[in-house]
Amino acid sequence: MGASGAGKTTLMDVLAGRKTGGVVAGEIRVNGHPKNQSTFNRVSGYVEQEDVHLPQATVGEALRFSAALRLPSSVDPETRERFVREVISLVELERLEQAFVGVPGESGLSIQQRKRLTIAVELVANPSAIFMDEPTTGLDARAATVVMASVRAVVDTGRTVVCTIHQPSLDIFEEFDELLLLKPGGRCVYFGALGRESASLIAYFGGVPGTPPLPAGVNPANWMLEVTGPAAEASRGVDYAREYEASQLRAAAESMLERVHQPKPDVADLTLGELEVTRPSRQFALLVRRFLAQGWRMPDYNLTRFGVTLLVAFVEGSIAWKQGDDRNTVAGVMNIAGLLYMSTLFIGITNCMSIMPVAVTQRAVMYRERAAGMYGIGPYALAQGVVELPYILVQTVVYSAIVYWMMAFIPSAAKFFWFCFFFGLTLIFFTAFGLLCVALTPDIAIASLFSSFFFGFWNLICGFLQVQSAIPGWWIWAYYLNPVSWSLYGLIVSQLGDLYDEYIVNFDGQTVSISAFIQDYLGFKYSFIWPCVGILLGFIVVFRTSTFAALKLLNFQNR
């Protein structure tokens, strides 16, 4: 406990290994051995002040996901399920097991129910110690009592709970066994047992000269904070931090520290081998299953994607009805190229923009779960991309089947396949780009702005509004580094690039084959169709690899 600015949360974050900013110096020991953060994550839990969970998951799913990734793999499924059920009972979530977590303030669990879920998610990892950052913040008196009763039940199972708390009620304060009281600057004012009905605390402060006695019926926590506050200290000329430094209580703490600083002969250091980290393949499988369930339970997200796909397909098809059959004039061929260009951008941008809010929500949960050592960035990033493929496949087939025949493109199975293939690759790289934008930026607003710049730039320099040969030499690099250029290239050459026996009349006063026109005017060669495939796959790999690197190196959750 302590006033604002005393460093309560900072100290706890450092002890738990959750501090991401500033400079940390000194030494932390566990069982007398220097702390290894990877192993410590496996034997400790951390209940954050903000209750961050996947809104589309049920309470039971959230707990089983945590247990599957944090309990040793040697624990068989039956034992793991039994343990999860015990935790559900311990924090009294039985009636809410099938309830969706929901969005705070909008749907799903109440604030205190979410807090109990956050505690339970840590408990299913069977930690020896649990850190809690102000678990009663934002709760009314009744809800705070319910939550802290769950915390006390956790302690009674033999676990240690280290907790920051702000002005607890009398009932809540007396649930605690020991207190560390800090003043601004991180100076210690009290560190020791509270005693029954806070008797030890009251006796200590009562023994400091000038301290007014505890009035009858007053909460010892409120009295303690009042008498040690800066104004009270100044009025009485007392420095409680200095009083503590010279006290027997401090001497007892130093003596205890000296005893526990050295490892006991019979207590070995913890190793990851003993803790059996979950295999990456299992992490990937569990994440895929979770993301698939999330996607299925997001009708707004899927209806946006598929609704826009159907709407655009029918609108484009009706506007350009049968125009794909007009291939004997320059205007007709360029009209077909324009239809393919329109197909490339519109649906791709929709996919990119619609996945961003989903990725932002997933990232917030990922920060908490990664800090707990539940999974690595590799399985997470891979699963996040893989689960989009079935949806993109359906989108591709539905859109292509409508547009291809309404626009009367060449009725060839091979050409229809190529249209689907290049359109599908386009959706994949736009989706991958959306995930990358989120990974590189702190919030959805900046991610949207960042992506919008690239949409406009790609549109300008993809080789349609301004053909490749007309792009200034100092900008040609941007054309080659533009994934939309290669989508357009692939779509056009796959449909028109091999039409050697169909001719355009009056191109610069000549009659030329469509293939020759595509090559001479647009600069697209049919022989380059497979390199086009490789380049688009390369962009997808680059976007996904960059997303992995950004998630690993950038952390926008500052603690």
Where in the chain do CATH 3.40.50.300 domains reside?
Answer: 36-159
Q: What is the pLDDT of residue 276?
A: 58
**Mean pLDDT across the stretch 54-65?**
96
Residue of 429, 476, 365, 307 lying closest to 114 (CA atoms): 365
> In Å, how far are 17, 48, 115, 187, 548 from 559, measured between CA atoms?
11, 11, 20, 20, 22
pTM: 0.89
Averaged pLDDT score across all residues of the chain: 90
Determine the 3-state secondary structure of 33 from DSSP.
strand
Q: How many CB atoms are closer than 10 A to CB 483?
A: 25
**Which has the higher per-residue pLDDT, 64 or 273?**
64
**Mean pLDDT across the stretch 471-500?**
92
Model pLDDT for residues 155-199, shown as the tens digit of each residue: 998 999 999 998 899 999 999 999 999 998 899 999 999 999 999
Residue of 178, 183, 203, 204 lying closest to 193 (CA atoms): 178
Q: What is the pLDDT of residue 203?
A: 95
Residue of 91, 195, 196 lying closest to 149 (CA atoms): 91
What DSSP letter does each residue of 275-326 carry, written as one string?
H-PPPHHHHHHHHHHHHHHHHHT-HHHHHHHHHHHHHHHHHHHHHTTTGGG-
Q: State both tokens at 251.
A: 């001497």
**Mean pLDDT across the stretch 250-260?**
91
Could you tell me which residues come within 8 angstroms of residue 155 by beta carbon, excluding any fewer than 6 positions away? Answer: 161, 177
Residue 268 has pLDDT above 80, yes or no: no
Least confident of 143-152, 445-454, 544-553: 143-152
Q: How many CB atoms are closer than 10 A to CB 391?
A: 20
Residue 458 has pLDDT above 90, yes or no: yes
**Mean pLDDT across the stretch 8-23?**
89
Which amino acid appears at position 423 of this protein? F
The CATH class for the domain spanning 36-159 reads: alpha beta
Give residue 167's region: left, alpha or beta (phi > 0; psi -120 to 50).
Answer: left
Q: What is the pLDDT of residue 552?
A: 94
Exposed/middle/buried for 434, CB within 10 Å: 0-12, 13-18, 19+? buried
Return d(Cα 416, Cα 404) in angstroms, integer.
7
Residue count of the chain: 559
**Mean pLDDT across the stretch 59-73?**
94
Q: What is the pLDDT of residue 505?
A: 55
Residue of 83, 140, 88, 97 lying closest to 119 (CA atoms): 88
Run of H or E including 406: helix 388-406
Q: What is the pLDDT of residue 355?
A: 95
Instruction: Report the percent of the chain where pLDDT is more than 90.
Output: 59
Residue 333 has pLDDT above 60, yes or no: yes
Q: What is the pLDDT of residue 261?
A: 81
The dihedrals phi and psi of 35, each to the nearest 5 degrees, come to -70, 130
Exposed/middle/buried for 261, CB within 10 Å: 0-12, 13-18, 19+? exposed
Q: What is the pLDDT of residue 95?
A: 95
Query: Cβ(421)–Cβ(397) under 8 Å?
Result: no
Query: Cβ(221)–Cβ(168) under 8 Å?
Result: yes
Q: How confident is the model at residue 271 (pLDDT cuts 50, 70, 90)?
A: low
Exposed/middle/buried for 224, CB within 10 Å: 0-12, 13-18, 19+? buried
The dihedrals phi and psi of 136, each to the nearest 5 degrees, come to -100, 0
User: Averaging pLDDT over each range in 15-19, 342-346, 461-465, which range is the top one?
Assistant: 15-19
Q: State both tokens at 291.
A: 């993301």
Model pLDDT for residues 86-130, shown as the tens digit of each residue: 999 999 999 999 999 998 878 889 999 999 999 999 999 989 999
Q: For CA atoms 506, 510, 514, 517, give the dihedral sign.
A: negative
> In Å, how far are 155, 287, 314, 391 from 306, measured between CA atoms?
50, 24, 12, 9
Q: In angstroms, what is the C-alpha Rg of the chain?
A: 32
Q: How many CB atoms are closer than 10 A to CB 543?
A: 23
